[in-house]
């Protein structure tokens, strides 16, 4: 479903951060979307192929809102290694590949964000320039996506949280006129596999 986004005052940034994925054919620097509303971890099939990841083919049932479903008969269960801003590597198992994952793209001006919020001024906010994640980390890897430390400001202000993969800037972003190219809404699924998104396109 595509719906025009008009207002600049209610922008909400998702938890997107840079990561490195590793497989038999090498490494790939990309972005991850940390999503506590997903029951599985998803990887774009083109990245899986690039990294040389192979696994058992198993049909995947994706469920969106309004009981809309999609079946990916070519999905595979693969394993790979992920690392964030630190040096520690983490193994991901039972990751489901998806053709054209098409996660939302986000842009954030880190310096301007830091200057706009008092509670963030002592932290370095990483900039994102049309950053599009190619992997979605779900609750099956909750140890990587839960917040270990949180920096909060006034109500409805953006939040900086630390995960095992690094710091993530997210939440309301109304005072900074950065661009978020798409917006996702996640809902709980009754499927055994997944709960999934409804997309809206932002128009500046």
> What is the H or E stretch that residue 144 is in?
helix 142-145
Please report the pLDDT score of residue 28 as a whole number.
Answer: 97
- Tell me which residue range forms the domain holding 180: 4-195
CA 84/CA 163 separation, integer angstroms:
9
Asked whether residue 173 is domain-assigned, the answer is yes
- Supply φ then ψ for residue 187, to 5 degrees: -135, 155
Please report the pLDDT score of residue 48 as a whole number.
Answer: 98
Asked if residue 85 has pLDDT above 80, the reply is yes
Asked if residue 13 has pLDDT above 70, the reply is yes
Asked whether residue 161 is domain-assigned, the answer is yes
Please report the pLDDT score of residue 66 as a whole number.
Answer: 67
Asked whether residue 49 is domain-assigned, the answer is yes
The pTM assigned to this predicted structure is 0.79
Please report the pLDDT score of residue 19 as a whole number.
Answer: 96
CA 20/CA 43 separation, integer angstroms:
13
Asked whether residue 201 is domain-assigned, the answer is no
Q: Where are the beta strands (DSSP E) in 75-165?
A: 76-83, 89-98, 106-108, 128-131, 135-137, 149-151, 159-163
Please report the pLDDT score of residue 180 as a whole number.
Answer: 44
Asked whether residue 204 is domain-assigned, the answer is no
Asked whether residue 154 is domain-assigned, the answer is yes
Angle CA 155–160–165, to nearest 5: 150
Q: Which two structure tokens, joined as six digits, stand for 29? A: 């620097």
Please report the pLDDT score of residue 70 as a whole number.
Answer: 77
> What pLDDT, in 10s, does the model give residues 98-117?
999 989 898 887 677 766 77
Asked whether residue 188 is domain-assigned, the answer is yes
Asked if residue 204 has pLDDT above 70, the reply is no
Q: Are 13 and 180 in contact (CB under 8 A)?
A: yes
CA 35/CA 146 separation, integer angstroms:
10
What's the average model confidence in pLDDT over 145-159?
82
Over the chain, what is the mean pLDDT? Answer: 78
How confident is residue 2, by pLDDT bands cut at 50, 70 and 90?
Answer: very low
Please report the pLDDT score of residue 114 as a whole number.
Answer: 64
Mention every residue, 6+ apart, whose C-beta is less than 8 A from residue 8. Answer: 174, 177, 204
Q: Are 103 and 33 in contact (CB under 8 A)?
A: yes
* Number of independent structural domains in the chain: 1
Mention every residue, 6+ apart, whose C-beta is less than 8 A from residue 32. Answer: 16, 17, 18, 19, 82, 133, 135, 136, 137, 165
> What pLDDT, in 10s, does the model give residues 16-34?
999 999 999 999 999 999 9
Asked whether residue 203 is domain-assigned, the answer is no
> What pLDDT, in 10s, does the model give residues 186-203?
433 334 444 444 333 333
């Amino acid at each position: 479903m595509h719906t025009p986004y008009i207002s600049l005052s209610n922008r909400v940034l998702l938890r997107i951060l840079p990561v490195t994925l590793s497989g038999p054919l090498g490494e790939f620097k990309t972005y991850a979307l940390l999503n506590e509303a997903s029951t599985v971890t998803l990887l774009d099939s083109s990245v899986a192929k690039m990294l040389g990841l192979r696994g058992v083919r198993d049909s995947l049932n994706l469920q969106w809102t309004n009981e809309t479903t999609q079946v990916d008969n070519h999905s595979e269960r693969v394993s790979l290694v992920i690392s964030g801003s630190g040096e520690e590597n983490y193994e991901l198992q039972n990751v489901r590949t998806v053709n054209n994952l098409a996660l939302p793209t986000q842009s954030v001006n880190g310096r301007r964000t830091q200057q706009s919020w008092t509670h963030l001024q002592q932290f370095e906010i990483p900039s994102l320039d049309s950053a599009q994640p190619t992997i979605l980390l779900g609750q099956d890897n909750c140890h990587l996506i839960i917040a270990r430390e949180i920096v909060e400001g006034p109500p409805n202000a953006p939040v900086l949280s630390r995960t095992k993969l690094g710091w993530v800037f997210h939440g309301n972003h109304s005072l900074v006129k950065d661009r978020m190219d798409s917006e996702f809404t996640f809902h709980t699924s009754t499927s055994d596999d997944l709960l999934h998104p409804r997309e809206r396109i932002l128009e500046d």
